[in-house]
Chain A
């Protein structure tokens, strides 16, 4: 078991290194480096070369990569040559927004999708099951931004019960923090849950066909309780993978939601800095997002060992 965990950690580290190389190569291979951006389009080649030398951009790419990656390892993501701000100082205040949005969004989608998916499986031949499947199918066709705009229109503009945009940190005012997050989280959760319901449904339908479910029924559990008692854990084995993927994809969804509700999270930082060609900040932000995705995958891998006893290795 310890060996397996060590293996997973090894894969995690290797992927992280691979991803960092890729991110660095891509951002540095883009035409028009920071020197061009700073000096504008009518700069002379000499001036550009001089600034490149100042910024250290004329040195070999491998050396610059090593400097960047060793800086990250010690918590220094570099400094933006455009604004002069340390990248970490730009990222830190924005991590909270995105992290809350994604975490609450995925919790929300689980709260919606688990019971509905389970019901859709149990009643798959009845109208309830068909209605849920149809609603999920419909939900999948709704773009995140459209859903966000409609919610803002209904709840903020017409009903005036929730703020249409903005964000208040949890530490400042918990009640306002919650009020500002309700709509973005609901938007993300609803769109994600439409996808999730289908997976939950098929995972539980699989359980319904399993012999152990029939055994559970034969010892006297009603269909619902047999499913709760013996289905959830078994369905979780396949659902954990999907939820991991959903978490990663909801990072992308969060970027859109942040735009709709004017939340200053990592997504809007990323979009702004790409537009400004502030590649050092882009690199750092993308690296952080990749780190988050890889961490999620690592946790998914490790959670199999917790959920499925067959993964823990034979004890005999």
Chain B
């Protein structure tokens, strides 16, 4: 059974009905990793939030979203909340602000666990510690008793990954989870994410603007431009033989090391200007 089916999804904002995304359709099979790439403002995050049902109140959503063949658009707030953090969860872009500054991080992870299970508070601590270890944190006891401001960005993002994965979700939506981290931490967090996603057998919608990062995590990829999907396929296929001029631009500008020195560097619009 297909895990996630998105059909003709559109999101408009405000009274002016400004279009954010239009006619977005894709599907994710169990355990599949789907990359979603595109530049800032192309509608990647809006797509992710629409799937989670976390768009702001002034958003008008159209189209169909099915999780395990159940249409989430028909669910009431209460039933939808029960899916979130359990069947589907999300890792956000900004680890510095994603955690409650007034609560110890161990409790925040435990909260995600207790919300969806009949764990007793005592035994939850053991599960939380185990999960924190699995996302590659050392001294988990000290980390769990820390407040967010006492941890580094990489540590916080791993706490967020632990929160997202502690209930063994079927689908994890990662919205640029490494963009806010420096390069060395980025590699470590990606590795951790790869490991836990694999171990849990969770499917993943991985949003990024970084082709290299997407190719490390995903097997399939879709490309978004101005709120629409312009290309889809396997990572190897799309990146080696991009068909849409925008994707060609993305791929070419990601390989700036192959440019002869001294020449003006190409930008993405060079590739599709006048062709759309």
Give the Cβ gap from A104 to chain B, nearest Cβ, in Å: 28
Question: Of A70-78, A182-190, A308-316, which stretch is located at the interface?
Answer: A308-316
Given A211-B92, A215-B99, A220-B112, the answer on whether A310 and B85 have CB atoms closer than 8 Å is no
In angstroms, Cα B98 to Cα A216, docked, is: 9
Judging by beta carbons under 8 Å apart, are B147 and A223 in contact? no
Asked whether, in the complex, the Cβ of A218 is within 8 Å of the Cβ of B86, the reply is no
Verify A219–B115 contact, CB threshold 8 A.
Answer: yes
What is the minimal beta-carbon distance from A256 to any residue of chain B, in angstroms?
37
In the complex, what's the smallest C-beta–C-beta distance from B180 to chain A, in angstroms? Answer: 11
Most A CB contacts (10 A, CB to CB) among B52, B78, B89, B112 go to: B112
In the complex, B130 has a CB within 8 A of chain A: no
Question: A205-236 interface mask toward B, CB cutoff 8 Å, 1 = contact, 0 = none?
Answer: 00000111011111111110000011001100
> B53-94 CB contact bits vs A (8 Å, 1 = yes)?
010011000000000000000000110011111100110101
Q: How many chain A residues touch B (Cβ–Cβ < 8 Å)?
A: 26
B216, CB-defined interface residue at 8 Å = no
Interface magnitude class on chain B: 20 to 34
Chain B residue nearest in CB terms to A231: B100
Q: A223 vs B53: C-alpha distance in the bound complex, in angstroms? A: 12
Bound CA–CA A237/B85 (angstroms): 28
Residue in B57, B115, B160 whose CB lies within 8 Å of A215: B160
Contact code string A270-293 (vs B, CB < 8 Å = 1, else 0): 000000000000000000000000
**For A216, what are the chain B residues with a Cβ–Cβ distance below 8 Å?**
100
User: Is A307 an interface position by the 8 A CB rule?
Assistant: yes
0/1 per residue, B110-138, Cβ < 8 Å to A?
Answer: 01100110000000000000000000000
10 contacts between A and B (CB under 8 A): A210-B97, A211-B92, A211-B98, A218-B90, A220-B82, A220-B85, A308-B101, A309-B149, A310-B147, A314-B149
Residues of A within 8 A of B (CB): 125, 210-212, 214-223, 229-230, 233-234, 237, 307-310, 314-316
9 smallest A-B Cβ distances: which pairs? A220-B85, A219-B85, A211-B97, A219-B112, A309-B147, A212-B100, A233-B102, A218-B90, A220-B84
